[in-house]
Structure 1
């Protein structure tokens, strides 16, 4: 199993490309890559962020974008620290995929659902679904679906009790955490987005398990953030996180949505982390940024495909 994070994640090695022998040191897919300039998008995003802050829609925000075709990326506040909340469930997903790879059939095992002692239950008030019942048996596969699709904390706690061993600690270290992070520990958006890049490029898990992990993430039931800004039918492999801090008189909310957007010609990763006081406004911010960047990618893609005059 690979345990090395990819340094240049946007380009995959392709065999049989017919690359000339004297270029053997180059990525053989390089001749297939078309340059799609995106700097104007960064300026538009920066202008929107300033507008959101001025209007009070958010008090803090980070944005990270990277094309999975050219490798071009930009970030705004991408090194700022936020509470990851349920974004951490993706690392537990990776751990379960490791177990399935090492011991085929692990997903078919049955576990008794345990109640999260923190009492957070689903952790996703934005999602309406039939909660799993503590004390009842569920397959690991079903628990993973609850954890990723609905962000269910009871399912996550049950899986962590079975799979959160020393190998889980290694995953955290491999992704840049000095120790196992808690849900309240600060995390930068740029650091977190490397997780999706490694899944897309199968550089941490093998191909089959990376595909399986992304299938779970495509099934996320949270459609109000990144997905809401995309054309109907656009596939998104994503995870959201929500944490309420502060006091009842002065609520502070952190809402994040991160993932891979499968544009038909130019797939890309996009992550948005926000702080604010109004969940509806923060959700609208993520949606608007997602729509803007999809339109930019789509325009640049069509522009680069047009024949030169």
Structure 2
């Protein structure tokens, strides 16, 4: 091998080693940065400074996501959590619930707490939120898809709802995809959801799960936790998956949900709530959940509550009381 070839191979080997070394150092720096308390503190300050003024958007606040900061030990967070834990224990002792999970997160600067936050439940109609996200992700690429008309020929869902839609689809009538999304969210219409599912197919509907690193649902057997499900509301609030336009549209629709027997009850009417409920019957046991964003002025927070018990009405009342405990805690002792 001549001298020129030796130099060429040597240079290539040196370059490869250099790239590997720089990649290794880069990965290490990223990991170190995410675990660096100074970085997290700086990140949180930048989040506060980037707050979008109300005139720009009403429901979203695209901020730098600093990830989970951890169970912050601020006294007011602990007071709220302690009260909720005591309430849950009382309800269990009285036989009103069998299981319950709660996830709270301050959406301004990230403090959070969870109670049985990793326990899994059947989400029921909560899955209509990621279905909406999947449809609007398509609209980000082609907004005309929302104007497409679909003829609804008859009932397509077999699930019986305890909390029935206030408005149902009229069969043998055409609806735009935009209207089907609206009815699916605001009225929790199962037929609207089923039509959208059939129209778009599982590849499109479940792409958002894959993009976000969340397991894809299977018919009837899908389980999720309050913390995992809360991710959908976080990505809408931060506009980190959909565009600002469609993140805002999503949360606006969720603020118009007609179901008002759980989270909504615990919050004064002047405070906006963008939320979605879900129900499921499994044998003799019921599951009822309500998750969403409560827009306390200058202090929006995410609250997700999932329950198991024997009466939907009782479970709704319990969720409402948890919502009230959290709201009063946030308002009386500001989470800072």
Q: TM-score, normalised by structure 2?
A: 0.76
Partner of 1:196: 233
2:201 corresponds in structure 1 to: 164
Q: 2:321 aligns with which of 288, 296, 309?
A: 288
Change (3 A) 1:163 1:54: same
Once the two structures are TM-superposed, the CA of residue 118 in structure 1 deviates from its matched residue by 4.4
- Measured in 2, the distance between the counterparts of 1:107 and 1:84 equals 26
Distance 1:164 1:272 in 2: 30
The match for 2:50 is 14
Between 165-174 and 47-56, the greater mean CA deviation after superposition: 165-174
SS at match of 1:297: helix
Q: Is the 8 A contact 2:134 2:205 kept in 1?
A: yes
- Give the alignment of 1:193-232 within 5 angstroms: 193-232=230-269
C-alpha distance in 1 between matches for 2:245 and 2:206: 23
Give ranges in structure 1 of 5+ residues lacking alignment: 1-6, 17-26, 30-34, 305-309
Relative to structure 1, is the Cα distance of residues 267 and 166 closer, same or farther in structure 2, using a 3 angstrom cutoff?
same
User: Counterparts of 2:51 and 2:114 in 1: how far apart (Å)?
Assistant: 32
Question: Per the alignment, do residues 115 and 157 of structure 1 end up closer, same or farther by CA in structure 2, a change over 3 Å counting?
Answer: farther
Q: TM-score, normalised by structure 1?
A: 0.82
- Structure 1 distance, partners of 2:153, 2:214, is 27
| Aligned equivalent of 1:155 | 192
SS at match of 2:286: strand
Count of residue correspondences: 276
Query: 2:305 aligned with 1:272, yes or no?
Result: yes
Matches within 5 A, 1:1-309: 11=47, 14=50, 37-113=76-152, 115=154, 117-120=156-159, 123-127=160-164, 129-246=166-283, 251-301=284-334
- CA deviations over 1:109-129 (Å, ceiling 9, x no partner): 111125454423xx5432452
Q: Distance in 1 between matches of 2:265 and 2:235?
A: 25
Deviations 1:83-124 (A, max 9, x none): 01111111110011112211122222111125454423xx54
Instruction: Give the helix-richer structure, 1 or 2.
Output: 2
- Cα distance change of structure 1 residues 273 and 168 upon mapping to structure 2, 3 Å threshold: same
Distance (whole Å) between structure 2 residues aligned to residue 199 and residue 13 of structure 1: 19
**Hey, what's the Cα distance between the residues in 2 that align with 1:45 and 1:87?**
23
Residue 164 of structure 1 aligns to a residue whose secondary structure is helix
Post-superposition offset of 1:156: 0.4
Asked whether the equivalents of residues 309 and 315 of structure 2 are also in contact (C-alpha less than 8 Å), the reply is yes
Is the Cα–Cα contact under 8 Å of residues 261 and 270 in structure 1 kept in the other structure? yes
Give me the CA root mean square deviation. 2.6
Q: Which has the larger radius of gyration?
A: 2
1:266-285 superposed Cα distances (whole Å, 9 cap, x missing partner): 10000000000011211110
2:3 aligns with none
